[in-house]
Amino acid sequence: MLVARLERLSADSYWAHRASGLRGALLRSIERLESGEAGEADEKEETERLDRLFQRGFEILARAAREIRAS
């Protein structure tokens, strides 16, 4: 859901540019966890990385929403 919401940001927005790289990182991280690429020890690290990416994604969405309201 987060990836889809980040994808919907207006292309003219500063935050859309920031979201683009974050979407790619989220998708790669999710893929590594789902495919089992990460070993058991790496899985914990990947999960923590994914948590940080989620936090950053929601932060970008909140800032983009504030920018839209200010317009």
Of the candidates 25, 16, 18, the one whose C-alpha atom is nearest the C-alpha of residue 50 is: 25
What is the residue-wise DSSP string for the chain?
-HHHHHHTS-TTSHHHHHHHHHHHHHHHHHHHHHHT-S-HHHHHHHHHHHHHHHHHHHHHHHHHHHHHHH-
Higher pLDDT, 71 or 55: 55
pLDDT in tens, 30-45: 898 888 876 776 888 9
Give the HSE-up count for residue 67: Cα atoms under 13 Å, Cβ half-sphere. Answer: 13
The reported pTM is 0.81
